[in-house]
Amino acid sequence: MTDRVDPRVVRNRAAALVAARDLLVEEGWEAVTHVAIATRSGVGRTTLYRHWPDPAAILRDVVITEMDVVAPPATGHLRDDLIAAMETYRRLLHDPVWERVMRVNIERATVDPTFRRIKDSLFDRGVATYRAIFDAARASGELTTAVDVPRAMDRLLGPLLFRRMFAGEDFDADYVAEVVDEFLDRTQP
């Protein structure tokens, strides 16, 4: 016997998540309520409550959905790999939906253990991405020293995060390359 998923359930969940995401972006996380989602998506409130008993539950699903990003694979060419990973991050920071979702996750992580777990999981995935880059560079012989990956991420991603999230500035791929080159100048023997 095959477990079939009712296509109406799939459609309703997708419509509700899109409506919640749009409300989040347009009005902030306080606007993400069952009533507002039902009005915007056309999905009944009873259905919404069955899938997401409280607004925080649907916010968590929006955050998880929007922040599920696949990093480019490491090639062993340190500079190119760092630029590729950071360029993915730069594009996300300039995406209004992703930026808002990231802000909500950071804010909610201070008071909601589920959001804190999401934030921690995202950080762990980032560490794994950058660890793979440094490991591939060591395996190729391009990097000979050990790297404290979280500290390297601070130095690499910190400027991007600060410039976009705090200063509200746009920046391009050239800025990413500058940050990588400065990092490599300071860390390479």
**CATH number of the domain bearing residue 12:** 1.10.10.60
Do 11 and 50 fall within a single domain? yes
Condensed to tens digits (0 to 9), the pLDDT of residues 72-105 reads: 889 999 999 999 999 999 998 998 888 888 888 8
Do 77 and 163 fall within a single domain? yes
Q: Which domain holds residue 160?
A: 67-187
Number of H helices, E strands in the chain: 9, 0
Do 105 and 168 fall within a single domain? yes
- Residue 141 is classified by DSSP as T
Residue 180 and residue 69: Cα distance in Å, rounded?
21
CATH number at residue 118: 1.10.357.10
Task: Print pLDDT tens along the chain (189 aa).
Answer: 556 778 888 899 999 999 998 998 888 878 889 999 999 999 999 999 999 998 888 888 887 787 777 788 899 999 999 999 999 999 989 988 888 888 888 888 899 888 888 888 888 888 899 999 999 999 999 988 888 999 999 999 999 999 998 999 999 999 999 999 999 998 876
Tokens (6 digits) for 158 = 């910190």
Do 42 and 77 fall within a single domain? no
Residue 28 and residue 150: Cα distance in Å, rounded?
30
Tokens (6 digits) for 2 = 């095959």
Give me the number of domains the chain comprises.
Answer: 2
DSSP three-state, residue 178: helix
Close Cβ partners of 19 (under 8 Å, ≥ 6 residues apart): 36, 37, 40, 41, 43
Do 32 and 76 fall within a single domain? no
Residue 100 and residue 93: Cα distance in Å, rounded?
9
Do 87 and 150 fall within a single domain? yes
